[in-house]
Every structure is written in C-alpha cells, then in structure tokens.
Structure 1
Amino acid sequence: MIIFIFISIAYLILMIALIYGWQQIPEFSPDFSPAETGFSIIIPFRNEAENLPVLLDSLAKLQYPFEKFEILFVNDASEDDSVKICREFQQQHPQLSLKILENNRQSNSPKKDAITTAIEQAEFEYILTTDADCIMPKLWLQTFNDFVQKNDYSLIAGPVSLYSPFQKGKAKPFRAFEELDVLSLQAAGAGAFGIGQPFMCNGANLCYSKKAFLAVDGFSGNDKIASGDDVFLLQKFQQKEYRTAFLKSRDAIVQTKPQENFYALISQRVRWAAKAPAYTSLFSKFAGAIVLLMNAGLLLGAILALMEIWNYYPVLIIFLLKFNFDFALLYLSAKFFKREQVLRSYFWSSMAYPFFSTYVALKSLVSGYEWKGRKFRS
C-alpha cells in the first residue's frame, strides 16, 4: 500500500505539471504574414484508396501560394488504386507541385524509409508530414508560416484531433472512448512542451527543418523500430538542444480518421507503446512508467480491496484524486478542440481506461502487432 501511495503522489505531481505546461503555451492565430516559408508536404501511403479522396480535397483547398509548397506522395507498395487516384488528382490540379514517389526500402521501418525518400527530393527548407487518412485545415500552411516567421524553431508539433460521422452529434461509446484517449495524449504531449520536457508528438501534423533533420542524420539509430518517425526525431532534436515547440492553434488542427473497431484501436496503441522501451528521454521514461504503474496499481488495489486484503478507503480516495486531476487536463484539451460534449462519456471511460492502458502496455512487451497489412515484432 505504501508503494502505491508513493506512485499515486508521483502521478498527481505529473498531472499538475502537465496541466501547468498546457496553460503556459499561448494560443496562436495566424496574422497572414507574407508567405515566405516554403513547405514540402510528405505523405507516405499504402493501400489508402478509401481515404485519399478526402485528403486530396483538403489539399486542393489550402490557402497558400502554390509556388511556396509541394506535395510529395510516397507509395509504399500499395496493392489497390491509391496510385491511380493520386495521378488523377495530379492531372486535375496542374497548378499544384505534386510528385508521386516509390518508397526506397532500407530498414525495418517502411514509414521512416518513405519520409527519408521524400526528403532526399524535397525542394523546400521546411518539412511537413501527415498521413493519408487525414484532413488539413485551409489555413494549415499559413498558420505554420506565421509561426515560423515569429519563432526560430527547428521542430514544431501541431495539434491532431479525430474526425468521424459522429463529430457534430452524440458519439457512440467506442468513438467517445477513443476520442478521450486522443485528447489526453494531445494534452499530455503539449503539456510536456510547456514545461520544457517534450517527449511526444504526432507525425500526422509535424513540421521540422530539413537542415536540422540532415544534421541529426535523420532516423539513423531508430530505423530498426517500425514506428516512431515522430517521437524519436523529437528526442534527437532535444539531444542536440534544437528549439522545439507545440503550435497551439485551432487553425492548424489536422483531423485524422478514427479506428474502425476496438481491435484496430488496440493494435494501434500497441504499436505506439512498443517503441517506449527505446525512449532516451528520462522524463518520457518516468512519465510512461508512472502512468502504467498508476493504472496497474488501481486494478490491483481494487482486487485486493474486494478480497478485503486492503482497506478500500485509500484505494477509493486515490481513484477519486486521479479521476479529478485527469478530468482537469482533459477539460483543457477538450475546450481547445471544442469537443466538450465528449466529456459526458468521461465517467465510464475513466473506469475502463486502467484495464485498457494496462493491457496495451503488457501486450506491447510480449507480442508484435500488425500495421498496414504487415506484421512487426515489438
């Protein structure tokens, strides 16, 4: 019980730090400065024929001078009509600088190889990565341009939210649980930036200097791990003491497609968790360990309380403290993304999350995962 209490205190301190960090980041709005920044948008894809039309439509609507950005699609051995769809879009929008490249596989990480392949041909200084199942806001590039012009950052993490048919109405339970999880990850990632200890970002909305990428030798050293094109690069930049930031702007929110079912969500989270043992940041290791121990401790505490081995009062108090501090962080995130209504599902989600989190963490340590039709070992 004493160990559990110490873990709980450490967890609450972590939550307070992340809440403080989130509040330390000011919200940013574009002021429509001259378009001086050139962007190379890199989009790896594999069998994304279903998702590409929505993505392409959003790219065509970007409000930024055509001569100041290019779009680099990287085909990773697609077996559907993905390439055909991209080529048709290319023909229909000749005003856009768009290239379709073939992935040059060099490592165990197809996505890192795809990004490296594109960067070798990138024309502009700033790289923007996203995914083929995303939607870009119209002022995406303009917002990044204004932020870059006012700040000398080598890496800028952008906000990411879910889109779904339920976004304007009442979310189904599974969708609400997934969205709360995404909101918590966004808040935790941004909060860590706010306290100067960034350890998490999302490759669906990530901007960095090509010069800095080459200076740290890209993904070298992490290419044996299939995922992590975002966080490992962030850690490299941190080690070199390059300036990094979170762009807290609603005009820069990239929307990503939710998972099709609970199994797909588990698989995705296992993939994300599998890279955790390779983290080099002490803060990221501390945060990951404390979150895991807190959730596992709550499960164990509940079982021992039911068996009358532990007094249930301390377990209940710790749960209520966690419940409220987690809600405080989630509320800040939900308010920023204008998704307060999803908080209606917070109570039952908070009951389910310790099971979900503990299972994902343990599964990531003992098994592999499937990603884009391929199987990888942890």
Structure 2
Amino acid sequence: MIVISFGITLIYFLLIARFLLGFDRIKTFELRQLKPKTRFSVIIPFRNEEKMLPALLESIRMLNYPKDYFEIIFVDDDSDDTSVDLINSLSANTSYPPTNFKVIKNKRTSNSPKKDAITLAISQAKYDWIVTTDADSVLPIYWLNSLDEFIQKQRPDFIVAPITYVNTQGFLQNFQLLDVLSLQGATIGGFGVNKPFLCNGANLAYTKELFKTLNGFEGNSEIASGDDVFLLEKAIQHDKMKVQYLKCEHTVVSTLALNSWSNLIGQRVRWAAKSSASKNLFGKFVGLVVFSQNALLVCCVLLVPIGIMAPQYLLFIFLIKFSIDFLLIYKAANFFDQKNHLKHYFLSSLCYPFFSVYVAFIAVFKGFTWKDRSYRK
C-alpha cells in the first residue's frame, strides 16, 4: 500500500511539474496596435440568460474594434424569458454604436443543443473567423484586437484563449475560482509541453474552413457537452502546429462563479461526463492521474483512523500535492492578477479531494441537468 501510494504521488508530482515548465514556455503575447485585418463572426448561444445578458451586451458595446469588422450572432435555444427582447431592444437602440447583431432560432438536430446552435450559426456566418463565447460572459475591451494581432503574427487556424471567474465572494465561489485557475494552469502548461488537451468554449476561435474540414461536431454530436474539447481534439489530429494558445491579459473572458454547491456539482458532473468519449490519450492520462491522487488522499484519510496507514504518510502525501498544486495555481493567479484569492487555498486543498471523488462517482452513475434539461451520459 505504501509503495503504491508513493508511486501515484510521484507520477502526480512529475505531471504537475511538467505543467509548471510548460506554463512558462508559453510567452505572454503583447499587443502592438497593428491595423485590424481580421473580420470575425462572434457566436453566442443562449437559453434564459436575461439576468446575465446586460453585462455581456455592455461589454460588446465597449469593444474597441471596428464595428464593421465583426458581427454578433446570438442563437436562441428555446428561451422562455426576456432574453430575446433584451437583445433586440439593444440592436434597435439608435444611441448604441452600430454593430451587426443577429438573433436566430436554434434548430435541434442532435442531443447537443449547443453544438446545434454553433453549427447553425456558422452556416449563416459572413466572416472566415469564428469566435465563440457564452451568454454569461463579459468580454475585455481589446478582445478582438488581441485575436486579430495574434492571427496576423502567428497564422493559426485554432486559438484557445483564457477565462476566469470574477467578483468571487465567500468560500464556495473562491473554491471554484481556485479550481478554474488550476484548470487554466494545466491548459497553458499542456500547450507549453506540446500536449494540448483542454480549452473552454467561452473563449475559442477557429476558421470556418477548419470547421468544415473537420466536419464540425460529427462523431460526438450525441454527447450533450464538449463543443470545445472535442473540436480541439479533431483540430490537433488535423494539424497540431496550427492549434495555439493565446496567453494575453487583454483576451481574458470573465464570468461569475456559481452560487450553490448543487449547481457546482451539476456543472462538474457535466464536465466529467464527456471525458469517457475523449480520444486524447494524454488528456485521459491526466484525468486518471489526478483522480487517482485525489482518491488516494480520501482513502488514506479513511485508513489512518483504523491503523492501516501511519499518519505521517498521509501528511507527507498531502504536503507533496499541496505544494506542487500551489505552484501551478500561483502561476495562473499571477497571470490573471488574482493572487489575493490564494488565502482560500489551504481550506480548498483540504476539501478538493473529497469533492472531486464525489463528482467522479456521480458522473459514473447518474446523468446531469443543463439549462433545465436532463441528460444521460
């Protein structure tokens, strides 16, 4: 038992250490105020987002990019609140800077409404570059400028960009923030070691031509979520060199953390449910190692009281994980300028193994609810 425990911990330590090295290999991209050249079709699926849309719409209004160089395609996924009215009233407001807004109705063709929405919007998009984000997001003022300059300089076909939580209050929301920072650290680190395996659809860009070449979401359209990572996998298989990470402070899309443990668990179960369909072997390896390390700590906590494991072994394993995780989260927090939230790290590190094991258990044996719809795996 001791040998297995330290074997798992060593593998985990080396994996996170590799992400730490990879994080620093991705250099921060600096804006040079180049003349805009790229035209974007920004796609935003939504369902009952009347509370979140005002902040998103205001951030769109503030975008410092030529208004005739981008369009916004909102895809209404059967909303029954005032979301559509909010968007239409803004587009009709003559005091609002002219932006090409469009609201279209989603057409369900699969088990994944979001993939259907994106596919439909791409079929109607005017421009060659597709950018996706979420209706509960807030966009930074130089968002499209950053994407444009990166495209001009690096010539990618697929861009993964950063997201984070803002205005986090209390332990629950800061727990989520630290978790997302660890995911962002692993995302950047994965690109840095030439093993990309994560991305987030709230800040993703790719060419329309690439989407057509990859046959869109064909092959995983029956899986409710995963519009981001499954497309990333296909893009990597097609041409890994054209898949790049944009590490730029002006590109960070923000959103709000969830306000209840039940909502958080449901979200994480949804994220975990798609992992079994992943074809990225490195991503599967990472998931297995991370789960094994967390499950090991939970088992050790149970074994110490009954005398099967000495307390000092549990403490040693915990300190190794605690330390290496902190270094990765610190790097991410420094990039996102959120180091002040690290004060919640100690308590979060105690809770996280139990949380992650519980989520994995629920993901295996139960379905999930998303936008008031129930799904099986």
- The residue that corresponds to 1:331 in the other structure is 330
- Give the secondary-structure state (helix, strand or coil) at the position aligned to 2:111: coil
Shift of 1:312: 2.3
Distance of 2:356 and 2:284 partners within structure 1: 16
Q: Does 1:252 align with 2:255?
A: no
Distance of 1:130 and 1:331 partners within structure 2: 26
- Structure 1 length as normaliser, TM-score? 0.97
Distance of 2:314 and 2:117 partners within structure 1: 48
Distance of 2:78 and 2:9 partners within structure 1: 47
Shift of 1:4: 2.0
- The residue that corresponds to 1:220 in the other structure is 218
- Give the secondary-structure state (helix, strand or coil) at the position aligned to 1:203: coil
- The residue that corresponds to 1:280 in the other structure is 279
CA distances 1:129-182 after superposition (whole Å, capped 9, x unpaired):
000001001100001100110012111111101122x4xxxx311111111011
- The residue that corresponds to 2:372 in the other structure is 373
Distance of 1:73 and 1:128 partners within structure 2: 12
Distance of 2:89 and 2:66 partners within structure 1: 22
Q: Does 1:157 align with 2:156?
A: no
Distance of 1:162 and 1:33 partners within structure 2: 29
Shift of 1:314: 2.1
The aligned runs of 1:343-362 (5 Å cut-off) are: 343-362=342-361
- The residue that corresponds to 1:194 in the other structure is 192
- Give the secondary-structure state (helix, strand or coil) at the position aligned to 1:240: helix
Shift of 1:317: 0.9
- Give the secondary-structure state (helix, strand or coil) at the position aligned to 2:220: coil
Shift of 1:57: 0.5
Shift of 1:260: 2.2
Correspondent of 2:236 among 211, 217, 238: 238
Shift of 1:256: 1.0
CA distances 1:53-74 after superposition (whole Å, capped 9, x unpaired):
1100000110111111000000
Q: Does 1:14 align with 2:12?
A: no
**8 A Cα contact 2:47 2:371, kept in partner:** yes
- Give the secondary-structure state (helix, strand or coil) at the position aligned to 2:239: coil
- The residue that corresponds to 2:24 in the other structure is 23
- Letter of the 1:291 partner, please give it: V
CA distances 1:65-110 after superposition (whole Å, capped 9, x unpaired):
1111000000000000111111001101471111111101110000
Q: Structure 1 regions of 5+ residues with no counterpart?
A: none
Q: Which moved more, 1:4-13 or 1:208-217?
A: 4-13
Distance of 2:84 and 2:153 partners within structure 1: 38
- Structure 2 length as normaliser, TM-score? 0.97
Correspondent of 1:123 among 97, 121, 126: 126
- Letter of the 1:160 partner, please give it: I
Shift of 1:306: 1.7
Distance of 1:102 and 1:4 partners within structure 2: 53
Shift of 1:307: 1.1
Distance of 2:69 and 2:331 partners within structure 1: 34
- Letter of the 1:309 partner, please give it: I
**8 A Cα contact 2:61 2:97, kept in partner:** no
- Give the secondary-structure state (helix, strand or coil) at the position aligned to 1:234: helix
- Give the secondary-structure state (helix, strand or coil) at the position aligned to 1:120: helix
Q: How many residues align?
A: 373
- The residue that corresponds to 1:363 in the other structure is 362
Q: Does 1:204 align with 2:207?
A: no
Distance of 2:359 and 2:157 partners within structure 1: 32
Q: Does 1:91 align with 2:89?
A: no
**8 A Cα contact 2:181 2:333, kept in partner:** yes
Correspondent of 2:183 among 176, 181, 185: 185
Distance of 2:234 and 2:90 partners within structure 1: 36
- Letter of the 2:138 partner, please give it: I
- Letter of the 2:57 partner, please give it: L
Shift of 1:311: 2.1
- The residue that corresponds to 1:43 in the other structure is 44
- The residue that corresponds to 1:55 in the other structure is 56
Q: Does 1:64 align with 2:59?
A: no
- Give the secondary-structure state (helix, strand or coil) at the position aligned to 1:232: helix
Distance of 1:365 and 1:161 partners within structure 2: 27
Percent of aligned positions that are identical = 44
**8 A Cα contact 2:131 2:206, kept in partner:** yes
- Letter of the 1:181 partner, please give it: D
- Letter of the 1:123 partner, please give it: K
Q: Structure 2 regions of 5+ residues with no counterpart?
A: none
- The residue that corresponds to 2:295 in the other structure is 296
- Letter of the 2:356 partner, please give it: S
Distance of 2:324 and 2:306 partners within structure 1: 28
The aligned runs of 1:141-152 (5 Å cut-off) are: 141-152=144-155
- Give the secondary-structure state (helix, strand or coil) at the position aligned to 2:202: helix
Distance of 1:248 and 1:356 partners within structure 2: 29
- The residue that corresponds to 1:101 in the other structure is 104
Distance of 2:311 and 2:158 partners within structure 1: 46
